[in-house]
């Protein structure tokens, strides 16, 4: 169905992002596997084996506007379109802290990566999506950014948590701005996943963690937009 879909995945050299690339490639997409270190993107494509034929390595640091511009220009030149954007790259850099004691330098850095990164990518790619009136934007968020969890004291990584809350806000705002188009914008909590970020005790494999992001990336026309999802179900912001 999605043989000619062109997808970009950020932070795809390891963890959930890598698995999203694998699943999208398997479903027939052409996938731009991006990493802030080009050599890691290249190695990750090689690790895909035969599926690597459907993937293309590219350098992308989501905090660097010039890197985003270069990527957008190369995709425009090579493919002429972008169908799917998975904003997966993120950092969780402030460990267990209370908001009142937060190191605001770390908060700033988290927001730069986890909010401004996805925002830059949307600004770079939505115009191309508009040209073809097709787009699926998946913002990989976290339950730790949901208002309910914050209010229950579960936002123990303050910069990470509020950056994801803001990413949820960006998701709702863009979905509303793009209402009436065939560009669907959603956020997803992958669950607690065994990666470098999630740690070895997490209950989900990367395959399970990537399932809902990939499902959102491949939504049919008329699918939902402006929601936060976990296990393919809408959950409260």
Ligand X SMILES: NC(=O)c1ccc[n+]([C@@H]2O[C@H](COP(=O)([O-])OP(=O)(O)OC[C@H]3O[C@@H](n4cnc5c(N)ncnc54)[C@H](OP(=O)(O)O)[C@@H]3O)[C@@H](O)[C@H]2O)c1
Identity of the residue, 152 or 196, whose beta carbon is nearer to ligand X in the bound complex? 196
Interface segment toward ligand X; rule CB under 6 A; list 23-31, 50-58, 88-96, 125-133: 88-96
Of the candidates 6, 7, 16, 56, which one interacts with ligand X according to CB under 6 A?
Answer: 16
Q: Which of 193, 210, 216, 218 binds ligand X (CB under 6 A)?
A: 193
Q: Determine if 61 is a binding residue for ligand X (CB under 6 A).
A: yes
**Of the residues 142, 161, 168, 212, which one makes contact with ligand X according to CB under 6 A:** 142
Q: What angle do CA 156, 204, 145 make, to 5 degrees?
A: 30
Based on the shown chain and the rule CB under 6 A, indicate whether residue 140 belongs to the binding site for ligand X: yes
Tokens standing for 51? 């599926």
Q: Is 32 in the site for ligand X (CB under 6 A)?
A: no
Choice from 38, 79, 116, 192 touching ligand X (CB under 6 A): 192
Residue number of the CB atom closest to ligand X:
15
160 in catalytic set: yes
Applying CB under 6 A, does 113 fall inside the site for ligand X? Answer: yes
What are the catalytic residues?
A: 160
Provide the binding-site residues for ligand X, judged by CB under 6 A: 10-11, 13-17, 35-37, 60-63, 88-91, 113, 140, 142, 189-190, 192-193, 195-198, 202
């Amino acid at each position: 169905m999605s043989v000619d879909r062109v997808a970009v995945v950020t932070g795809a050299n390891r963890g959930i992002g890598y698995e999203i690339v694998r699943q999208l490639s398997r479903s027939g997409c052409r996938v731009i596997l991006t990493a802030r270190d080009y050599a890691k993107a290249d190695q990750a494509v090689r690790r895909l084996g035969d599926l690597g034929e459907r993937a293309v390595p590219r350098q992308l640091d989501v905090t660097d506007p010039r890197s985003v511009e270069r990527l957008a220009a190369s995709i425009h030149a090579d493919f002429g379109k972008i169908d799917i954007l998975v904003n997966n790259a993120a950092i969780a850099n402030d460990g267990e802290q209370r908001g009142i004691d937060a190191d605001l330098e770390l908060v700033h850095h988290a927001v730069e990566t986890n909010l401004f990164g996805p925002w830059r990518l949307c600004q770079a790619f939505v115009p191309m999506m508009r040209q073809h009136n097709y787009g699926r934007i998946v913002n990989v968020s976290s339950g730790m950014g949901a208002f309910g969890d914050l209010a229950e004291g579960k936002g123990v990584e303050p910069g990470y948590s509020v950056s994801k809350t803001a990413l949820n806000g960006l998701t709702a705002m863009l979905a509303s701005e793009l209402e009436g188009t065939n560009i669907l914008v959603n956020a997803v909590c992958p669950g607690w996943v065994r990666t470098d970020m999630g740690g070895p005790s997490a209950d989900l494999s990367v395959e399970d963690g990537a399932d809902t992001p990939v499902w959102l990336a491949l939504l049919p026309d008329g699918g939902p937009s402006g929601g936060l999802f976990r296990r393919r179900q809408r959950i409260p912001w």
